[in-house]
A and B are shown apart, each in its own frame.
Chain A
Amino acid sequence: MKTKLLIFLFISIASSVFASCQFSSQGQNDPWTQQQLLDPADLAKVLNDPKAPQPLVFSVGMQAIIKGSIDIGPAMKAENLNVLKGKLNKLPKNTQIVVYCGCCPFSRCPNIRPAMELLKNMQFTNYKLLNLPQNVKVDWIDKDYPMAQ
């Protein structure tokens, strides 16, 4: 009985660790804070409201599939990161900015970290990372949030 309980506890803890590694929204060394994560439902609401102030939404992944977002390309590539830098250079530091990729779970997305680091280093003050912990299909498309045409 004791052994069974120990096995159960071990599996439970191991599963917790696995699950948190897979879909965690923020790791220890990630260049964003929990407060900088933007709930997809909140962005969808803003995008669906023409009277609401619209943030600048940058896609730093494979495709700009969110309504009104600007396609930068994968930020893991230096040339794309430079494109983003060029656009940011023209903006006031307090511009409302949202970045997203959504290719893969946050833990292994190669694009969001370079983009968020750039925003941090350029001392922007009002930028968010769209919280797509699994991917843009599960966390955006499947929820029927607004899409680019």
Chain B
Amino acid sequence: MSVVLLLIVGTISAQSTGLEPGNKSPEIKLPNTKGDTVALSSLKGKLVLIDFWGTWCAPCVAEQAELARLYNKYKQSAFTNGKGFEIYGVSLDAKKSNWENFITTNKINWIQVSDLKFWRSPVAKTYNIQALPFNILMDGNGIILAKNLHGIDLEKGIIRFLRK
């Protein structure tokens, strides 16, 4: 039984190898839907959630409504190491029309970028993404605070860094 448990823990923790809290988040420079490059580093000074997703990923799509709620609730908030909350959505879509239509239909008003390379996107390799959805919460200096927070844990993660 313990062997089984070890194997399972190994499988689950595969997602957690690589980037760890306390490390600097690697730079991302990708185009938005208009083709303008948006650098992750341009968000310096804010609490940032990097959301890796795709319109083809059902759990990612399901999560967008919660992201919208959190974005609108905290975008003006002050944090211990950052003023304001931003979401930097990185889509692993392959077709621009799918990506663009989803953003328009769902009125997504935070930053969205993509190289439209699906799983071949170099950022998937840089961030050692094993499955979607995947996210990183980073502070105003680009330091990773937490990763892969979903559901109630995501808001708890944000609240933890609110300035009291």
Q: Which residues of A contact B (CB under 8 A)?
A: 9, 11-12, 15-16, 18-19, 22-23, 61-63, 65, 74, 102-105, 108, 110, 134-138, 141, 147
Taken residue by residue from 45 to 74, chain B's Cβ proximity to chain A (1 for < 8 Å, 0 otherwise) reads as: 000000000101111000000000000000
On whether the beta carbons of A12 and B93 are closer than 8 Å, the reply is no
Q: Which residues of B contact A63 (CB under 8 A)?
A: 94, 118-120
A9 and B1 in contact, given A15-B8, A134-B130, A141-B120 (Cβ under 8 angstroms): yes
A135 and B131 in contact, given A12-B5, A23-B11, A103-B56 (Cβ under 8 angstroms): yes
Q: Which residues of B contact A135 (CB under 8 A)?
A: 119, 130-131
11 A-B pairs, CB-CB below 8 angstroms? A12-B2, A15-B12, A19-B8, A63-B119, A104-B131, A134-B130, A134-B131, A136-B119, A137-B130, A141-B119, A147-B120
How far, in angstroms, from A137 to B94 measured CA to CA in the complex? 14
Report the minimum CB–CB distance from A131 to chain B (whole Å): 16
**Is B162 in the interface zone, CB < 8 Å from A?**
no
On whether the beta carbons of A137 and B119 are closer than 8 Å, the reply is yes
Taken residue by residue from 117 to 158, chain B's Cβ proximity to chain A (1 for < 8 Å, 0 otherwise) reads as: 011100010000111100000000000000000000000000
Report the minimum CB–CB distance from B15 to chain A (whole Å): 10
How far, in angstroms, from A19 to B14 measured CA to CA in the complex? 13
- How many chain-B residues does the 8 Å CB contact rule pick out? 25
Report the minimum CB–CB distance from A33 to chain B (whole Å): 24
How far, in angstroms, from A103 to B118 measured CA to CA in the complex? 9
How far, in angstroms, from A61 to B55 measured CA to CA in the complex? 12
Specify the chain B residue showing the minimal Cβ separation from A138. Answer: B130
**Is B95 in the interface zone, CB < 8 Å from A?**
yes
Kindly identify which residue among A16, A61, A138, A141 contacts B8, using a CB–CB cutoff of 8 Å: A16
Report the minimum CB–CB distance from A44 to chain B (whole Å): 16
Kindly identify which residue among B12, B118, B129 contacts A62, using a CB–CB cutoff of 8 Å: B118
Q: Which residues of B contact A134 (CB under 8 A)?
A: 130-131
Specify the chain A residue showing the minimal Cβ separation from B128. Answer: A142
On whether the beta carbons of A62 and B8 are closer than 8 Å, the reply is no
Instruction: Mark out the residues of chain B between 1 and 46 whose CB falls within 8 Å of any chain A CB in the assembled complex.
Output: 1-2, 4-5, 7-9, 11-12
Q: Which residues of A contact B2 (CB under 8 A)?
A: 12
Q: Which residues of A contact B119 (CB under 8 A)?
A: 63, 65, 102-103, 135-137, 141
On whether the beta carbons of A104 and B120 are closer than 8 Å, the reply is no
Specify the chain B residue showing the minimal Cβ separation from A23. Answer: B11
How far, in angstroms, from A105 to B11 measured CA to CA in the complex? 13
Kindly identify which residue among B5, B129, B132 contacts A104, using a CB–CB cutoff of 8 Å: B132
How far, in angstroms, from A65 to B56 measured CA to CA in the complex? 16
Report the minimum CB–CB distance from A17 to chain B (whole Å): 10
Report the minimum CB–CB distance from B157 to chain A (whole Å): 22
Specify the chain B residue showing the minimal Cβ separation from A147. Answer: B120
How far, in angstroms, from A61 to B12 measured CA to CA in the complex? 25
